[in-house]
Structure 1
């Protein structure tokens, strides 16, 4: 089957801009519907595609997560280059981690963190995410089940050093939470793993700006932007952006 690779997207509208960041093993489809929704509300939205994402799983084990962080930074710089001086950042899972890190290291109007891991994610759990993605991707390519299984098993022999780098990056972002000056909205799926539920509480408790919120969506899992409560999530993101007044919180 011919695969159509996912692409970055930019929906241009008003001066207020939102950088949308997808998760580990995900792609821009994770945030495209949210981008369209916010675009209709008058926001310019840009979503980069992390290097190696949307393709073969084997590449994810070869690339340093620093590549993906640079992709997030370049997305921010693209919006700056287009003249946007006020930028909010919203991300899902690893995208939420990057959104928080951008909030700690760059001037942003606000941060939306959705199901971001901040503590306790093991290299083995990260590897299982890659295995699951590989199985799905190879099946979608049209490969026979025996071939899929053999290729997935072959992943076991590949180096995993970069997963430890990703672990360290997530932990370091947790230590940077105190440096985030912007308002923060923490959003979490109630059906997600306990690790993420615990992380959401840690993020909320450690970001210093009193203009912050913490919302759990009881019928949603990990990818909030594609879940059962998608409409509510989109509305809440929009309401949060509106309360920012791009520098001030009501």
Structure 2
């Protein structure tokens, strides 16, 4: 089965704009429902898709965080070029990391991080994410188990430079949290893995923002935007964004 590459989306609404950022091995699909909710409440929303994501897993390993960060900057500049001077950033997982990085380097009205890792990530952990993504991608293509096993062996032989660079990006940002000063809302599902739980508290404790909030969701795991409490997540993010000084 031929898989169509995922595309970015833009929902044009009011003068307040939100850059929505998906996670590692994810696509804009993971933030689309959030984008629709915010659009219905008067926001313009734009979500880029990172290079190498949503396509053949080999392409994922052939790109890296410098490519994905450029996609974030391109998304931010797209909104600027469209005439939106007031921009907030909301990101899931790696997208949350990029939201923090964006806030450290560009003017933003506010930041939302969801399930963002800031605890040191091992390359082996990141590779398991790639392998899991690869299995699902190949199943969706209609390949049988034997073919998938053979192709995973080929994937395992590829260089993991991009994953090493991603680990360094996450680890390096941890040292820069105090340079993040925009208002921030940290969301974290309690059913997520422990490094993400620790990361949520670390982000909250170490950002330089005078205004910061941290909320835990007892019935949610990692992809909090699509989990059981998603409607509450959307509502809480909307209330946070509404409260900013636009």
Q: Look up the match of 2:208.
A: 208
Decide whether the 8 Å contact of 2:186 with 2:213 is kept in 1.
yes
SS at match of 2:151: helix
In structure 2, stretches of 5+ residues that fail to align are none
* 1:196 Cα deviation from its structure 2 partner: 0.4
Does residue 82 in structure 1 map to residue 82 in structure 2?
Answer: yes
* 1:201 Cα deviation from its structure 2 partner: 0.5
What CA RMSD, in Å, does the superposition of the two structures yield over aligned residues?
A: 0.8
TM-score relative to the length of structure 1: 0.97
Q: Look up the match of 2:60.
A: 60
SS at match of 2:225: helix
SS at match of 2:52: coil
**C-alpha separation in 2, matches of 1:129 and 1:188:** 19
- 133-142 or 149-158: which moved more? 149-158
Q: Look up the match of 2:118.
A: 118
Q: Look up the match of 2:101.
A: 101
* 1:151 Cα deviation from its structure 2 partner: 0.9
SS at match of 1:232: helix
Q: Look up the match of 1:47.
A: 47
- Per-residue CA deviation, residues 129-159 of structure 1 (Å, 9 max, x unaligned), is 0000000000001111111121112221111
Q: Look up the match of 1:25.
A: 25
- 124-133 or 164-173: which moved more? 164-173
**C-alpha separation in 2, matches of 1:153 and 1:214:** 41
What are the residue-to-residue correspondences of 1:1-250 with 2, within 5 Å? 1-246=1-246
Structure 1: which 4+ aligned runs deviate by more than 4 Å? none
In structure 1, stretches of 5+ residues that fail to align are none
TM-score relative to the length of structure 2: 0.98
